[in-house]
Structure 1
Amino acid sequence: MAPAPGPLRDEALRLLAQPSVRGTAWSRLGPEVVPVLAALTEDPSVPDAQRMRAVTALSLVEAPQAGPTLQAMMEDPQRPADVRTRAAAALGQCLGFEAVTALRARLEDQDVRIRAAVAQALGRLGGQQVREALEERLPREEVPQVREALQQGLTLAEP
């Protein structure tokens, strides 16, 4: 469902049309932009590149509901895999180590692409808890693509 037309939606679309936008531009829009961005990720009239930027932009908005919104996107099996994988990366950016528990749970996701994206998002966070999660999953993972992502995550997580 597309958000109602209005200045906030228009400004969000203007920013999403740009390949890169600083976090301050998103923060300036305030927490009210979170539901607008979330709706834009599902709006079929918005080009795919802008929809993906909307997911990433959620990690740049300084609003308490941004993290839970990204987590819900990542966990929703009905959402497209590209949205879910982007949400996994953005969740780590948004919440930092607070995202480890939610990300770790997705290492068991049925979708190979989600497991791979989560392994890399965890690796970027680093830390002993992340290393343990990745090391625990590695011997149980049967898909070569995900095993490689787990290895990359472990490399990124090196102290």
Structure 2
Amino acid sequence: MRDEALRLLTQSQVAGSSWRRLGPEVVPVLAALSEDPSVPDAQRLRAVTALALVEVPQAGQTLQAMMEDPRRPADVRTRAAAALGQCLGFEAVTALRARLEDRDVRIREAVAQALGRLGGQRVREALEERLPLEDVPQVREALQQGLTLAEP
């Protein structure tokens, strides 16, 4: 399973059907690859993105855990935020919203963008609520962009 996942991760574009074909057994493999320092950075990040394409409940749980874990590298956490929104859709709003208060600026920025891509009234409220509390200009900009994307 690891060899097949690595083979797919070397490709820049892989159809979701290729990941779904591997089934739920690939979820822990992709999670492990995302943390493996011997795996090139591009493949590690593709492993996180691929989790959204597997389409099994464990993938969403794994992505949420990755995003919430402050010990993980920021690039993995930010990619997990984007993938979580893609994987769970509106079901991800609560988990993403909680990360708008993350200590890491990069995570807050990625979460604002992920929420904006989801859109909807709940997302608008979350972004509008956070905007006056945010002091970091790049995160404020991401919140504004998220609000623009979330427009009905």
TM-score range, shorter chain: over 0.9
Does residue 19 of structure 2 align to residue 26 of structure 1? Answer: yes
Query: What are structure 1's unaligned runs of at least 5 residues?
Result: 1-7
What SS does structure 1 have at the residue aligned with 2:126? helix
What SS does structure 2 have at the residue aligned with 1:65? helix
Does residue 58 of structure 2 align to residue 69 of structure 1? Answer: no
- Separation of aligned partners in 1, 2:66 and 2:51: 11
1:119-143 per-residue CA deviation (whole Å, 9 max, x = no partner) reads 0000000000000000000011000
C-alpha RMSD of matched pairs (Å): 0.4
Q: Of the candidates 71, 85, 94, which is equivalent to residue 101 of structure 1?
A: 94
- Separation of aligned partners in 2, 1:116 and 1:12: 29
- Separation of aligned partners in 1, 2:63 and 2:30: 11
- Separation of aligned partners in 2, 1:117 and 1:42: 19
1:22-65 per-residue CA deviation (whole Å, 9 max, x = no partner) reads 10000000000000000000111100000000000000002110
2:41 maps to a residue whose letter is D
Q: Of the candidates 36, 43, 48, which is equivalent to residue 41 of structure 2?
A: 48
Give the C-alpha shift of residue 80 in structure 1. 0.4
Partner residue of 2:110? 117
1:81 maps to a residue whose letter is A
Partner residue of 2:127? 134
Partner residue of 2:78? 85
- Separation of aligned partners in 1, 2:32 and 2:141: 33
2:122 maps to a residue whose letter is Q
Identity of aligned residues (%): 88
Partner residue of 1:148? 141
- Structure 1 runs (4+) deviating above 2 angstroms are none
2:137 maps to a residue whose letter is P
Between the two proteins, the alignment pairs up a number of residues equal to 152
What SS does structure 1 have at the residue aligned with 2:72? coil
- Separation of aligned partners in 2, 1:82 and 1:147: 20
What SS does structure 2 have at the residue aligned with 1:41? helix
2:30 maps to a residue whose letter is L
Decide which structure has greater helix share: 2
What SS does structure 2 have at the residue aligned with 1:46? coil
